Chains A and B, each alone.
Chain A
Amino acid sequence: MMSDPPASAGLHIQTRLQRTGFVLDVNMRLPGKGVTVLFGPSGSGKTTLLRVLAGLEREAAGQVCAGGDVWQDSARGVFRPVHLRALGYVFQEASLFDHLSVQDNLKFGFHRTPADQRRHAWDQGLHLLGIAHLLERMPHQLSGGERQRVAIARALASSPRVLLMDEPLAALDAQRKAEILPWLEQLHDQLDIPVLYVTHSPDELARLADQVVLMEDGRVRESGPVIELMARLDLPLAHGDGAAALIAARICGHAPSDLMCMLEFDGGRLVLPQTRTTPLPTGTPVRIRIQARDVSVSLQKPEQTSVLNILPATVVDMVDDGPGQVLLGLQVGNAGQGTTANTTRLLSRISQLSARRLGLAPGVALYAQIKGVAMVR
């Protein structure tokens, strides 16, 4: 059996694990930085894949390499036990050690990390996750959101080479989720290690992911940049009620008197309400989400409408989506024939009736009216 040379940075996992009624069969490489979301229905093998990576599934065969270290190579009989793999694992429920204070929980992994492998102080995560005021507390005195933040900081304190997060928000109610997501986003900007994040929440996907790996029945259906995959009509992400396009944009101006700010992206500009109390400086990269149901189309440029954002676009592809509905893939911005440079993709969901009446087909030029834009990052 040929074995791939370990990638110097990043993560490579090739594994096969047979269970009754389920086979996990995955071969994938991840970059050395950024958040990769494992996305898929429950039972598709997301958690199992994470556990194989961590070494928690002894019977899984294959190869795992992280940052140039071989953690597992079944062909050569290499299996590094979990405690010798430099990883951080955040479980669905926070799993703090109940007998230790927050501070001692945080120091647990730090003290067990050899001094020459420590890359930061044990308390580095305190401010990153907003838990500095909780140090003396015992786990049972914390809220669910606080526990999960401590668990993340604890994982980071052991200087992991990769951070594995298994639905860290799934056990929290909507309010706690909203409270912890900003911390996760901040984490995303500061971490220099790959993060593998399991979720089936489209919202977490839109806000946190750089890359996405779509899992289905124990296999990788597709993987790539989230912005590309979210808007592909042949993938499940673009279907369902929450279908949306993500756009990488930058702040390009403010209209303080109107409480609006301006964004530019490849192929166009948008205005949206200034929701933050302190406006982001011009030039800040942001990610916005435009739901397919918030985009309607018109063959003529609409005049005298309350809709602020109207962009010229071209129909690229279309597919039936649910009863009486059709999903359009639109290209915003004028590129030369056969190129997508300097363009951005949008999704629009309209009725099949409208599509027929307007004579929509790939290549048709129209105007996309955007009723809702959300800044997700």
Chain B
Amino acid sequence: MLLTASDLQAIWLTLKVATLTTAILVLVGTPIAWWLARTGSWLKTPLSALVALPIVLPPSVLGFYLLVAMGPHGPVGHWTESLGLGHLPFTFPGLVVASVFYSLPFMVQPLQNAMEAMGERPLEVAASLRASPFDTFFSVVMPLCRPGLVTGAIMSFAHTVGEFGVVLMVGGNIPGVTRVVSVQIYDHVEAMEYGDAHRLAAVMLGFAFVSLLALHIYNNRSMKFAA
């Protein structure tokens, strides 16, 4: 099985986008999940719905709004321009920002579920053992919610690897910059290169299967540990 140089470039780019997106999501998604899991505010329900939107929204719709917002006339576009960063659409950073929004629910939901399932008790125990809330978060909450975090990270990574519509809208199809594997496959098909499309599609299929397999094995193991 032989992949072309541009295939390899697309794979490398995809891995870069997915890794960076997942790393950002761990940092951004964790506080969001913690807030959603703990708050009694009326804002919880609307914000949960907002976070979940990318699951049901057509990627082209999400991509369209992001494109408009980050473009020269959008609010984000004005802001990035005033910072001297130019505009995000059709750039690698723009693609990463879009991916973060696109995969946010896949990070937040498993983590939030784990935090809610943990309940109040470990926090009370930690406080009675002189741990401050900040200390408790890192020494108790995060270790206890690790299965949720790992699930969220694997899901976010895999979901980002599989994105297509958002990439086309926000990133376009620039080799080495925004042309990820899913777009590359589309290009192969457009150009009637079915053999190339097959090989690359097989790589994606294998990757998706292995990701989910790893996730299930991990979940089974941590369930046994908990029981």
Contacts and interface: CB of A to CB of B under 8 A. Distances in A.
Interface residues of B, number: 21
Contacts of B23: none
Interface in B199-227: 225-227
A313 B97 CA distance: 88
Contact of B128 (A88, A99, A113): A88
A81 B125 CA distance: 13
A308 interface: no
A97 B121 contact: no
A322 B122 CA distance: 45
Given A83-B132, A140-B225, A99 B144 contact: yes
Interface in B137-153: 139-140, 143-144, 146
B117 to A, nearest CB: 12
Interface string A41-56: 0000000000000101
A118 to B, nearest CB: 11
Chain A CB count within 10 A is highest, among B127, B135, B144, for: B127
A97 B130 contact: no
A158 B127 contact: no
Contacts of A140: 225-227
Interface string A106-120: 001100110000000
A112 to B, nearest CB: 4
Contacts of A109: 128-131
A195 to B, nearest CB: 14
A155 interface: yes
Nearest to A151: B125
B90 to A, nearest CB: 45
B193 interface: no
Contacts of A82: 124, 127-128
A246 interface: no
Nearest to B143: A99
A89 interface: yes
A12 interface: no
B226 A98 contact: yes
Contacts of B132: 83
A108 B135 CA distance: 11
Interface string A99-131: 110000000110011000000000000000000
A112 B135 contact: yes
Categorize the interface residue count of chain A: 20 to 34
A154 interface: yes
Contacts of A54: 128
Question: What DSSP secondary structure best describes chain B's contact surface?
Answer: helix
A347 to B, nearest CB: 39
Contacts of A83: 126-133, 135
Nearest to B125: A95
Given A89-B124, A89-B125, A140-B227, A98 B144 contact: yes
A97 B131 contact: no
A91 interface: yes
Contacts of B225: 140
Nearest to A55: B127
A97 B146 CA distance: 13
Contact of A97 (B122, B124, B226, B227): B122
A87 interface: yes
Given A97-B140, A97-B144, A99-B144, A89 B131 contact: no
Given A99-B144, A113-B130, A158-B130, A91 B125 contact: yes
A167 to B, nearest CB: 14
17 contacts: A56-B127, A82-B127, A83-B126, A83-B131, A88-B128, A89-B124, A91-B124, A95-B121, A97-B125, A97-B143, A98-B226, A99-B143, A100-B143, A109-B129, A112-B135, A113-B130, A155-B128
Interface of B: 121-122, 124-133, 135, 139-140, 143-144, 146, 225-227
Interface of A: 54, 56, 81-84, 86-89, 91, 93, 95, 97-100, 108-109, 112-113, 140, 154-155, 158
Nearest 5 pairs of A and B residues by beta carbon: A109-B129, A82-B127, A89-B128, A112-B130, A99-B143
Given A108-B131, A109-B129, A158-B129, 11 more contacts: A81-B127, A83-B128, A87-B128, A89-B124, A89-B125, A91-B125, A97-B125, A97-B144, A98-B226, A99-B143, A140-B225
